[in-house]
A and B are shown apart, each in its own frame.
Chain A
Amino acid sequence: MKKEGKNSDELRPLVIKAGVIPNANGSAMVSMGKTTVYAAVYGPRKLHPKHLQMYDKAYLYCRYTMVPFSTKERARPGPSRRSTEISKVITDALKPAVFVNEFPKATIDIFIDVVQADSGTRCAAINAASVALADAGIPMKDLVCAVSAGKIDGKYWLDLTGEQEETTDCDLPVAVMPKSKKITLIQMDGSLPEKDVKEIIKLAVDGCEKIYKAQKKALEERWIGAIREDK
């Protein structure tokens, strides 16, 4: 069965670019299908106000925003309950991969702007943020890769489009550190038997491998090229 020109275990067209925001210490642009996000990392830098500083590790701060023109109906600027929750789950998804204890008292700020939304924005955000962290040279155990999956018309589907999101039995985003296969984010909307849920998680975890490759390629393109130019 084909829908919108792709099989159920294929990703939407994936583009990842590292180092797209010159002002940031690290940055990335990720588009998954029609969803496009930018992530910028500033830091490690001094954390203010001082009382938030931790003597043994850095503060990892993440802010996810939808740009007003990113959605079909104009989104009101400023934080919403949705964006606040997503910022939190993204922070939690990235934290296990970052050696925060390398930078006591500092903050690592990650800003994520969704410029076009067509489902899977939190996954694209995590993919972009983890490339941006690596681009900033922040020591990490691994990259973090994320993709969502669901079940449509009795079949499991990877990386749902906006249209598919409306017909799927569930939307289940997963983030993984591929080397250890450890899961750092899992959410779900919808209701399905346990067996299905397990299958969908497996499908998403496998899908993350492809994202992992694209992330590494983006970092290689950015840095191997740069090193050559230096010589």
Chain B
Amino acid sequence: MDRRHKGGQIECGVMNLKSNYIFNLASKNQRTDGREFSDFRKIEIEENPIENSDGSARVRMGKTEVLVGVKLDVGEPFPDSKDEGILIVSAELSPLASAEFEEGPPREESIELARIVDRGIRESGAIDVKKLCVKEGEKVWMVNIDIHIINHDGNLIDAAALASIIALWNAKFPKYIEKEDRTEYGTKTDKELPMKYKPVAVTVYKTGKDFFLDPNIDEEEASTIRLTVISRDDDDICALQKGGTEPLTMEDVEKIFSLAVKKAAELRKLV
């Protein structure tokens, strides 16, 4: 949002007021909506709401709502991994979802979001990519994951990662006719994706001295540090991403790890 024009000053003032309010509450171990620091908002999940996709999921965390669709197609493998399927994650912060989002090609925020989700799925080995090979060096399955935000009220990373892994676990291959080298889009076979793990992202935010999870938009804006920890079924950590302008101590990192891995195990039950 451009803060140069007139409304900007007022808006900045309101933001500071909100931040101070959240900061003061936190010092009394409280949050604006009465949750504990380690509580998520109510999570609602809908499996396969989009019939036209090969797998899809809707995740609501409080007022945050994310839709993820998986599309499968056959294409050429990369020269350095001739027998492995390809994973492509894209995210769109649609201007539908927030007054802060603008039209146009993806910017920093949405590219970072897609890349964090990508890394969690890729590095955890969630998909057995070798099983996505159709003909070595020539044809492999490409897994397209599209993240679409319907309403942004904070914690998009965790919501998008959760929706993505649920969509993948619910995906079925479309029909592929090898002779004609053609995918019959919109058809569904019984064959599920070769899934191995359920990586779950938990982002820990820090305001002042306190760590908290699943912030709403005001809490997210008041926070100056975040660390996303993606962990899988065996509690191994498979991706990290620090955000925010303030530094973290080693002690902070250790605290965040234990908090995030524990919470991820809880959230994994939803997949």
Contacts and interface: CB of A to CB of B under 8 A. Distances in A.
Interface of A: 20-24, 34, 36, 38-40, 42, 45-46, 48, 63, 65, 67-74, 77-78, 109, 111-113, 115-118
A40 B151 CA distance: 10
B153 A22 contact: yes
B52 A40 contact: no
Interface stretch (B76-84, B98-106, B131-139, B203-211): B98-106
B5 interface: yes
B94 A65 contact: yes
A129 B96 CA distance: 12
Contacts of B98: 23
Interface stretch (B19-27, B35-43, B67-75, B255-263): B67-75
A63 B95 contact: yes
Contacts, number: 92
Contacts of A113: 94, 96, 148, 150
Nearest to B69: A69
A111 B94 contact: yes
Contact of B152 (A23, A39, A48): A23
A21 B90 contact: no
Interface in B94-138: 94-99, 103, 105
Contacts of B148: 67-69, 113, 115
Given A40-B97, A68-B71, A111-B96, 6 more contacts: A21-B65, A24-B96, A67-B92, A69-B56, A72-B186, A116-B52
Contact of B52 (A20, A22, A48, A72): A72
Query: From DSSP, what is the main secondary structure of chain B's interface residues?
Result: loop
Report the interface size class on chain B: 20 to 34
B231 interface: no
A80 to B, nearest CB: 14
Contacts of A77: 90, 92, 146
B144 interface: yes
Interface string B59-70: 000010101011
A38 B50 CA distance: 13
B51 interface: yes
A48 B5 contact: yes
Contacts of B150: 20-21, 38, 113
